Amino acid sequence: MLASRFSGFSPSVRSQTALTDDQIRRVAPSIFAEAAHESRSQRYTYIPTITVLDGLRKEGFEPFYACQTRVRVDDRRETTKHMMRLRRAGEQGARQANEVILLNSHDGTSSYQMLAGVFRFVCSNGMVCGDVVDEIRVPHKGNVVQEVIEGAFRVVDGFAQVDSAREGMQAIGLSRDAQHALAESALVLRYDEANGPAPVTPAQVLEARRFDDRADDLWTTFNRVQENLVRGGQAGRNRAGRRATTREVTGIDQGVKLNRALWVLAERMREILG
């Protein structure tokens, strides 16, 4: 499980160019914390996330997204959990780019964690690559900076598997029934059946938001489903049967969990049909 509990409206910033320290600091000051939370013991090795980020920058990684949790207790605001999505600065011309997702806190609620992700430029949508690349954790002890940098390169080494999975999905055409099955399963992941029927139908989840997304291959179908479920904005019916618009998934933890589950669903379909 991802050791993060982000609230529903986490302050965040995303940019088409690499973020500066000033841009990051405005929304995620905990990345620049001057000390660990007072609850940490002497065994806790305090290394501010900005120091780790500077080390990653020297190795060619740049942040394009940053956020931190909202907190109710003021004394944790400067040390609370935060997340960045980093990628190589020169991949802007591609249709998508592989990313290293970095999470951390300075209050003892999270170690350094790294996951593989994919960012799709056409819809400014970030995906999390399920179980294709193992999650990496670095505890707050020892040579934290070097271990995180090594962990980032281990994630990068797994990008070949991510690319292979994506290419495999692109090579598989889906029948109408298979697309409907994917959308129906995705709705179960997004909406708890115990709370009533989903507010939208599988057909709506399969709707393309742009002309280039109308192809029937597994990768494009997966992207349509993922974007519609994560972005929301579709007309539907709430539990009372009244007209409603689906909500965007804004909670970071919920978003990561849903994205990972959707990727695993698409990957398993690839394995079955490939």
Distance in angstroms (rounded) separating the CA atoms of residues 217 and 38: 52
108 vs 2, 41, 45, 76, CA distance in Å?
Answer: 15, 10, 11, 11
Assign 239 a pLDDT band (cuts: 50, 70, 90).
Answer: confident
Percent of the chain with pLDDT over 70: 84
Distance in angstroms (rounded) separating the CA atoms of residues 134 and 214: 32
Q: Kindly report the pTM of this predicted structure.
A: 0.81
**Mean pLDDT of the region 35-42:** 62
* Lowest mean pLDDT across 5-9, 127-131, 202-206, 215-219: 5-9
**Mean pLDDT of the region 27-56:** 78
Residue that wins the pLDDT comparison between 43 and 27: 27
Distance in angstroms (rounded) separating the CA atoms of residues 204 and 223: 13
Closest residue by Cα to residue 123 from 225, 215, 243, 257? 225
Any residues with CB less than 8 A from the CB of 83 and at least 6 apart, and which? 4, 6, 65, 66, 67, 68, 101, 102, 103, 252
**Mean pLDDT of the region 6-31:** 82
pLDDT at 70: 74
pLDDT tens for residues 131-155?
Answer: 767 788 888 787 888 988 898 999 9
